[in-house]
Amino acid sequence: MNQAEVLFEKNFTACYLKYSQVITNFLHNLLTNAEAAKDLAQDVFLKIYERKQILDLNCARTKKFLYVIARHKAYDYLKREKTKLEKYHKIQSDKISKNQHFYKDSSKSYLEKEIISTIYETIESFSPEKQNIFLEKNIKEEKLKDVADKSKLSIYKVKQIEKEINRKIKTNISNYL
């Protein structure tokens, strides 16, 4: 190994030790799935390693940079999971219509419907303004700044509303998981 490679390895190791748990926790809060959070955190650091990026551990932008990568990894993961779920629902729907038989594993279907219904009811329990903010940010996937501008609220207030609704959703569906 040459001197540049040794320097990179030391920097990468220090970066990993300093930020891996923080990034894993951040991803776990976004996904509420510990295994997926660990896997995606590894992917974040793998990306840094593959690019051989040397990061300044004392710079606040390093942490922000890692958060941005992690957030993008989480969005990609959620999109893949959403696509899988949509494909699953399509396949199940096709099976039901082709066979004209009731779906044998109705408990799973019932559970999914209950979760969706609970999420819907939870969102509905908030004021129309909060509902719109949450839906624009999370369903329409609009940028935080755009949502804040439309609602004439600060970015901080929009984040607080989103956290409040997410917290209540997590609490309400925890019985099903």
Using an 8 Å Cβ cutoff, are 8 and 54 in contact? yes
Read off the tokens for 167: 């917290």
**Where along the chain do its domains lie?**
3-77, 105-176
Calpha distance 80→72 (Å, rounded): 12
For 105-176, CATH number?
A: 1.10.10
DSSP string for residues in 7-71: HHHHHHHHHHHHHHHHHHHHHHHHH--HHHHHHHHHHHHHHHHHHT----TT-HHHHHHHHHHHH
Residue 95: per-residue pLDDT: 67
Mean pLDDT by 10 residues, the chain (177 residues): 90 95 95 93 95 90 94 93 85 67 60 82 88 84 88 91 89 81
Question: Exposed e or buried b for every residue in 139-168, given b needs 16+ CB within 10 A?
Answer: eeebeeeebbeebebeeeebbebbeebbee
Overall fold of domain 3-77: Rna Polymerase Sigma Factor; Chain: A (1.10.1740)
> Is the entire prediction scored with pTM above 0.85?
no
